Structure 1
Amino acid sequence: MRHCSVQVRGLLTRDELDRYNALIEVGSYLEDQSRYDLAYPVQKEIDLLILPAIERLKDKSRARDKATAEYLESLNGEDEEEE
């Protein structure tokens, strides 16, 4: 089973995280039993489950980029006032 990143896992809701952990456990068991044909749909379900958390991570990144741009713009404005 492929795990998602720690950043994505941190943005999962409690229900999503519980479901994620259960699916990982089931998928790992299936892989241990060499039932890759059954583990594949479990992995696909995990991939769908984490999509909202990935979007939340992207939103946080966009907000951080916007705040950085505003900060740099404010610094640029202060430099022009000093001259």
Structure 2
Amino acid sequence: MRHCSVQVRGLLTREELDRYNALMDVGHYLESQTRYDLVYTVQKEIDILILPAIERLKEKSRQRDRDTEAYLAQKNSALLEDEDDDES
């Protein structure tokens, strides 16, 4: 069984996290029973379950990029204003 990243797990809702943990337990049990045919199915369910959290992580990254862009634009405009004041 493959775990998802800590960042993705941190963005799972309580309900999603409970389901994720239960599916991981089932998957580990099936692995111990060498039922890899069923493990594959459980892993696919986990992959589907974590998709919303992955999207939330991507959105956080996009928001951080927007915030950085706005900050840099503000710094650039302040720098340009300072240059205009120096020329006057």
Indicate whether the TM-score tops 0.5: yes
Matched letter for residue 42 of structure 2: V
Post-superposition offset of 1:47: 0.1
- Structure 2 residue 22 is matched with structure 1 residue 22: yes
- Structure 2 residue 13 is matched with structure 1 residue 13: yes
Relative to the length of structure 2, the TM-score reads: 0.92
Q: How does 1:39-58 map to 2 (within 5 A)?
A: 39-58=39-58
Structure with greater Cα Rg: 2
Q: Gapped runs of 5+ residues in structure 2?
A: 84-88
RMSD after superposition: 0.5
Aligned residues: 83
Please list every run of at least 4 consecutive aligned residues from structure 1 whose deviation after the TM superposition is greater than 4 angstroms: none
- CA–CA distance in 2 between the matches of 1:62 and 1:38? 36
Q: Gapped runs of 5+ residues in structure 1?
A: none
Write the deviation string for residues 22-74 of structure 1: whole angstroms up to 9, x where unpaired.
00000011111111001000000000000000001111110010000000010
Relative to the length of structure 1, the TM-score reads: 0.98
- CA–CA distance in 1 between the matches of 2:49 and 2:58? 16
